[in-house]
Structure 1
């Protein structure tokens, strides 16, 4: 199917689909006062959009591959969010992301009207639009009539590798934080790396945010499927990957400011370990004495 025809066929239904989630999140967050509603859908809606495009493409081989990869990413990220207590019943309840209460205190956002506008424009609509835009390369990838090529398979393997990296980074962080809070809950003294307060071994010894490095890279790779489909090295759907990367720059800068104020040794960590792109020469084995001790019992 020609790209323009495919775009005309899919973009309006996708926009309505995206708008539904944005309005739902805005209404629910306004009623409950909890603006973390988008977080609960972050790992779900891109996979839904990807399969919607696959259906409109009449299950083009590349679209099915891309939708399948997006589903693997979605299942993995949803699982990680769920085990950290991200989902509750009723679904609109639960803890709000720790950054939102801090941002509410910003002089420009502290007024209720200003905060409502921010919630409507950025939290609800912009973020949901972004989750749609990162999937749009799938439209440009479906115009080729041929089957999958070597580049498709290389990109698929790279995508899966990055999902594994993200899983391992999240797993190390989960094990570290679980043991740290177990010690705190048991009123036992923190020792070793737990006394430092933040993880800096394993993948986290090479990058301050290895999970975010993998996450951004995943959607850059997703964009490259459009290149494999013949849309050219640079096409308009690259805007999704660019905006996604930019979102992480601002979000991480904000969260690191909070972390640096909480942990005295974080400034040293910032000065020696790269923000995103890993430096393999700095690798230190994952330190998890708590888990090791449990296995020995």
Structure 2
């Protein structure tokens, strides 16, 4: 049996009933897969006979090994980065496909796959235009970390966090889809609240797009200014000389794109809580770990940025990291105006 026998919606997030009974399938899966491939048996049957949460987790472990080998062979540690924008959607699609093959209602999963696909398309495009898929491209922060720690320590960091833990994290972000699948037994139809969650998710994707586009426009204007000395329309020379963007959404949050990204997966987790009529569940581990990851990543990014731009510390003091701290946008402090009367008093 691939799914647990449940009596209520609340049981859909019960770890002991929905996860623990199927853990042995994880240990047996490699041998069963080898038998299927050797005898050319029906692999679809093995797929539907295996709990979808377990098979999805197994895929994330396998991909972690692929990321590890690829990173070590190429001495490039952005392998997970290249797959980041695709894997959560791939895993949600996995739950959706499994539900169809198993004959389980899948309307909520279709709705989740809709917003996730749009999220993937947008993020993949943004990563591509920044050169993320070019041969040899690597996140500059990995290079900085490599210089700060011994070589052996960095390899252990890759074997654990970079390759495997991040791979599993991307799966855990999509794992709330498992609860949506289980809840379909009790409430198969999409409700107005479900559509509200979809609308919120799409709104967050739009916010992330606007923030990234504003950053892209600023960086393009800054590059043109350095080459030609001309100030692009929509910007001022003072803004470009400052070196970092403080307009648009960036006037209220230092990282509006990061804030939206974390919120997207937190609200997806909350959607699963609503579907199971629960306030919280063990699936919080995914979005909580993502938030922790962004805390560390943002700290390193800002440490580097503050070292490059003198005014950044003032920007940090006035604008919240993720959440706005006020209703007014950031404004650069202008030079202090000294009246002639004040100057005369100082001279006396």
Kept after mapping to 1: 8 A contact 2:115/2:198: yes
Picking from 125, 134, 156, the partner of 1:117 is 156
Name whichever of 181-190 and 257-266 sits farther off.
181-190
Deviations, residues 253-277 of structure 1 (Å, cap 9, x unaligned): 1111111011100000000000001
Q: Secondary structure at the match of 1:87?
A: coil
Tell whether 2:252 aligns with 1:206. yes
**TM (normalized to structure 1)?**
0.88
Q: Distance in 1 between matches of 2:19 and 2:280?
A: 19
Instruction: Tell me if structure 2 keeps the 8 A contact 1:6–1:139.
Output: no
Question: 1:162, 1:215 within 8 Å by CA — same for their partners in 2?
Answer: yes
1:57 CA displacement: 2.4
Greater relative contact order structure (CA < 8 Å, 6+ sep): 1
For the residue of structure 2 that corresponds to 1:94, the secondary structure is: coil
Shift of 1:279: 4.4
CA RMSD in angstroms, aligned pairs only: 2.0
2:301 corresponding residue in structure 1 = 255
Q: In the TM superposition, what are the counterparts of 1:1-297 in structure 2 within 5 Å?
A: 2=6, 3=12, 4=17, 8=22, 9-58=51-100, 60-88=106-134, 93-106=135-148, 109-110=149-150, 112-144=151-183, 145-146=186-187, 147-186=189-228, 191-279=237-325, 281-283=327-329
Structure 2 residue runs without a partner (length 5+):
7-11, 23-50, 332-348
In the alignment, the residues of structure 1 paired with residue 56 and residue 182 of structure 2 have an alpha-carbon distance, to the nearest angstrom, of 18
Alpha-carbon distance in structure 2 between the residues aligned to 1:43 and 1:126 = 16
- Helix, strand or coil at the partner of 1:282: coil
In the alignment, is the contact (CA less than 8 A) between 2:80 and 2:167 conserved in 1?
yes
**Alignment length, in residue pairs?**
278
Deviations 1:225-253 (A, max 9, x none): 21221251111111111111111111101
- Larger CA deviation: 261-270 vs 140-149: 140-149
Q: TM-score, length-normalised on structure 2?
A: 0.76
Unaligned runs of 5+ in 1: 286-297
CA contact (8 A) 2:92 2:177 kept: yes
Distance in 1 of aligned mates of 2:300 and 2:139: 13
> Deviation per CA, 1:28-83, whole angstroms, max 9, x where unpaired?
11111111111110000110001001122235111121122111111110011111
